[in-house]
């Protein structure tokens, strides 16, 4: 169970523990947290929603992509759903590799891919309203209106 | 029959989480048109479709029993 959707607080250490291996010289951990201010606008809280069964598959796909690109990598990803308050942990990504440069690169790759292909959405709640966010990368999620060939079912 | 799933703003707009629709033999694009009209969904063009939990292109033909999900641009992380 290296790829999970969590409905409660994520135990960060338990995600890290999943990638411990004797061959590793480095483990990088990314912890995504709920930010209060976005372009000056104050967030009160977020609701994350997932198409859970597909989201787990897509997290696993990202892990497999990493293992193909960075030899010897181990990957674990847990993404939270439900209501999250400011500073709460939304996602934890742990990657271990034999050498540190790969661990940093592969971890960065994982979070960028999550923002492209994993069916999870956040609803921002502000003092003056609420909205589902669809272009968190501040660009169109899919420039051609759909995932590129490489995004499909890899 | 086919189960159709809605998420995020599409679910809010449709007012339902899922629907049963006879979609076998239709393409994803054809189903999008039908669903957009039935549920008055404005932003369905920008949504992806998944068939049985894998992204599917607009031209893919739906089979009996397939589960189709409409996936708005994602915002996890």
What ipTM was predicted for this assembly?
0.95
Total structural domains within chain B: 1
Give CATH superfamily name and number for A3-137.
Molybdopterin biosynthesis MoaE subunit (3.90.1170.40)
Residue A153 has its nearest CB partner, among B48, B55, B75, at B55
Interface contact B59, partner A, CB < 8 A = no
Residues of B in contact with A57 (CB under 8 A): 53-54
- CATH assignment at residue B24: 3.10.20.30
pLDDT string in tens for chain B (77-residue length):
999 999 999 999 999 999 999 999 999 999 999 999 999 998 788 899 999 999 999 999 999 999 999 999 999 99
Kind and range of the H or E element at B28? helix B28-39
CB B71 within 8 A of CB B47: yes
Strand partners, A3: A77
Place of tokens 């033909």: B61
Its domain, for residue B37, covers: 2-71
Residue A27: CB atoms within 10 Å:
19
Q: Is B76 inside any structural domain?
A: no
Please provide residue A132's backbone torsions phi and psi, each rounded to the nearest 5 degrees: -70, 135
**How do strand B48-51 and strand A37-38 relate by DSSP bridges?**
unpaired
Q: pLDDT 10s per residue in chain A (154 long)?
A: 999 999 999 999 999 999 999 999 999 999 999 999 988 899 999 999 999 999 999 999 999 999 999 999 999 999 999 999 999 999 999 999 999 999 999 999 999 999 999 999 999 999 999 999 885 544 444 444 444 544 444 3
- Kindly state whether residue B77 falls inside one of the protein's structural domains: no
Strand partners for A42: A37
* Nearest beta carbon to residue A152 from set B55, B72, B76: B55
Which residues are CB-contacts of B5 (< 8 A; sequence separation ≥ 6)? A51, B17, B18, B67, B68, B69, B70
What are the domain boundaries of chain A?
Answer: 3-137
Does B11 fall in a domain?
Answer: yes
Confirm whether B25 is domain-assigned.
yes
d(CA A152, CA B1): 25
Q: Are B1 and B36 in contact (CB under 8 A)?
A: no
């Amino acid at each position: 169970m290296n790829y999970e959707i969590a409905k409660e607080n994520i135990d960060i250490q338990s995600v890290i523990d999943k990638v411990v291996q004797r061959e590793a010289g480095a483990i990088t951990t990314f912890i995504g947290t709920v930010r209060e201010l976005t372009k000056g606008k104050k967030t009160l809280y977020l609701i994350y929603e997932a198409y859970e069964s597909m989201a787990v598959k897509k997290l696993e796909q990202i892990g497999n992509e990493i293992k193909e690109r960075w030899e010897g990598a181990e990957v674990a990803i847990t993404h939270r759903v439900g209501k999250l308050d400011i500073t709460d942990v939304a996602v934890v990504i742990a990657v271990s590799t034999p050498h540190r440069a790969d661990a940093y690169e592969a971890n960065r790759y994982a979070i960028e891919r999550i923002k492209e292909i994993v069916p999870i959405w956040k609803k921002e709640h502000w003092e003056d309203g609420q909205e589902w966010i669809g272009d968190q990368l501040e660009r169109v999620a899919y420039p051609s209106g759909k995932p590129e060939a490489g995004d499909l079912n890899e | 029959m086919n189960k159709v799933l809605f998420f995020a703003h599409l679910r809010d707009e449709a007012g339902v989480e899922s629907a049963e629709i006879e979609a076998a033999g239709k393409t994803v694009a054809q189903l999008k048109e039908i669903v957009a009209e039935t549920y008055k969904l404005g932003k369905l063009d920008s949504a992806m479709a998944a068939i049985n939990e894998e992204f599917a292109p607009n031209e893919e033909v739906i089979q009996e029993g397939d589960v189709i999900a409409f996936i708005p641009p994602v915002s996890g992380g």
